[in-house]
């Protein structure tokens, strides 16, 4: 009715009771939340965070007690392990050296038949299949015009004939004159050497064309050929104007027999001469560094010796 005081909603509930019910629900909700949700103390939050951080650091960084020492590893065990490691390294080094020598021998044997000019050899000679084990091989570098020098060496310090063979068999010392062939194989010069070889049997013939400007190449080919033919502890290069005391050479090399990669001789060094016009001027002095620099320590070219390792390296990499 339009004149009544109490207004009712469409469903018959008074708006006053609706308002009261809403206010009561709000108060009840606030009361429940205050009882169930307790706000943590800030001090406790800091303590818990600090504790968690310490636990994490403890997991990442293990505690090391410096007061207690591990006595399980003794000094003797360490020395034993070092000794075993050294033995393994030496064994591997010997194996590698052996493989390199086999490779060098195969390459040199193949190169004799394929590279360069044909090698001048005496008819009827057979290729050496197995290398002879010797103490050292001494190659005396000589030329076609050096017959007098060769005869001087034969008459003084180099054994001849049966004595030369005896020296090889009993002492393991091989001595040969080293020479290549002429630019025209089979010519007069080569036939002269053939006759001399027939008489003395003390030459090592190389697959190499003789020439003054090819001495470095001749030396490399000599080492390669010697490595392929003889299994020696040392390989020596000597000029034919040098006279040798074989006993002194043998005793000197014997002291270095157990050492790897030996390079010995009359060692020297000196300043690199950059001034033009002076004796022994070095045209490429700039390769040795600043002005006034010195050559690296090296042996004179007249005589020097290489151990098996170094000679094999030259043979493989020439």
Digitized pLDDT (tens) for each residue of the chain, 318 residues in all: 444 444 444 455 577 777 777 787 777 776 666 555 555 555 555 565 566 655 554 554 545 455 554 555 566 677 777 777 877 887 777 777 667 666 655 665 555 444 433 344 444 444 446 889 999 999 999 999 999 999 999 999 999 999 999 999 999 999 999 999 999 988 999 999 999 999 999 999 999 999 888 888 999 999 999 999 999 999 999 999 999 999 999 999 999 998 989 999 998 888 888 888 888 888 888 888 776 688 888 898 999 999 999 999 998 887
User: Are the C-beta atoms of 93 and 101 separated by less than 8 Å?
Assistant: no
Residue 260 is predicted with a pLDDT of 87
Residue 222 is predicted with a pLDDT of 96
Residue 124 is predicted with a pLDDT of 41
- The CA–CA distances, whole Å, from 33 to 26, 30, 170 equal 11, 5, 111
Residue 273 is predicted with a pLDDT of 85
Specify if 202 maps to a domain. Answer: yes
Could you tell me the residue range of the domain that residue 149 belongs to? 109-123+131-263+301-317
Specify if 57 maps to a domain. Answer: no
- Domain count of the chain? 1
Exposure letters 293-302 (e unless 16+ CB within 10 A, then b): eeeeeebeee
Q: Measured between alpha carbons, how far is 311 from 318 in angstroms, rounded to an integer? A: 10
Specify if 95 maps to a domain. Answer: no
What is the 3-state composition of the chain as percent helix, strand, coil, each rounded to the nearest 5?
50, 20, 35
Residue 119 is predicted with a pLDDT of 41
Specify if 11 maps to a domain. Answer: no
Specify if 272 maps to a domain. Answer: no
Q: Which of 234, 292, 242, 232 is nearest to 266 (CA)?
A: 242
Specify if 77 maps to a domain. Answer: no
Specify if 219 maps to a domain. Answer: yes
Residue 123 is predicted with a pLDDT of 42
Residue 4 is predicted with a pLDDT of 45
Specify if 178 maps to a domain. Answer: yes
pTM here is: 0.61
Using the 8-state DSSP alphabet, how is residue 70 labeled?
Answer: -
């Amino acid at each position: 009715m339009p004149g009544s005081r109490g207004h009712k909603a469409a469903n018959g509930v008074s708006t006053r009771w609706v308002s009261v019910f809403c206010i009561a629900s709000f108060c009840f909700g606030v009361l429940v939340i205050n009882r169930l949700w307790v706000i943590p103390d800030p001090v406790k939050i800091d303590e818990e965070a600090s504790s968690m951080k310490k636990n994490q650091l403890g997991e990442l960084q293990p505690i090391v007690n410096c007061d207690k020492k591990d006595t399980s590893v003794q000094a003797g065990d360490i020395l034993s392990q070092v000794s075993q490691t050294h033995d393994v390294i030496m064994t591997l080094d010997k194996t590698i050296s052996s493989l390199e020598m086999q490779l060098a021998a195969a390459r040199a044997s193949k190169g004799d038949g394929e590279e360069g000019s044909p090698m001048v050899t005496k008819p009827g000679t057979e290729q050496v299949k197995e290398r002879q084990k010797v103490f050292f091989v001494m190659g005396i570098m000589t030329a076609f015009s050096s017959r007098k020098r060769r005869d001087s060496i034969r008459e003084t310090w180099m054994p001849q004939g049966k004595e030369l063979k005896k020296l090889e068999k009993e002492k393991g010392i091989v001595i040969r004159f080293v020479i290549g062939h002429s630019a025209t194989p089979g010519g007069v010069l080569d036939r002269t050497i053939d006759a001399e070889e027939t008489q003395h049997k003390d030459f090592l013939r190389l697959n190499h064309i003789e020439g003054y400007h090819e001495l470095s190449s001749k030396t490399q080919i000599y080492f390669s050929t010697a490595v392929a033919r003889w299994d020696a502890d040392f390989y020596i290069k000597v000029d034919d104007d040098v006279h040798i005391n074989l006993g002194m050479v043998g005793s000197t090399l014997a002291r270095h027999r157990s050492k790897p990669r030996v390079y010995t001789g009359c060692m020297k060094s000196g300043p690199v001469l950059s001034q033009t016009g002076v004796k022994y001027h070095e045209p490429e002095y700039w390769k040795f560094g600043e002005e006034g620099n010195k050559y690296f320590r090296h042996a004179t070219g007249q005589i020097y010796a290489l151990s098996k390792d170094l000679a094999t390296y030259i043979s493989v990499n020439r």
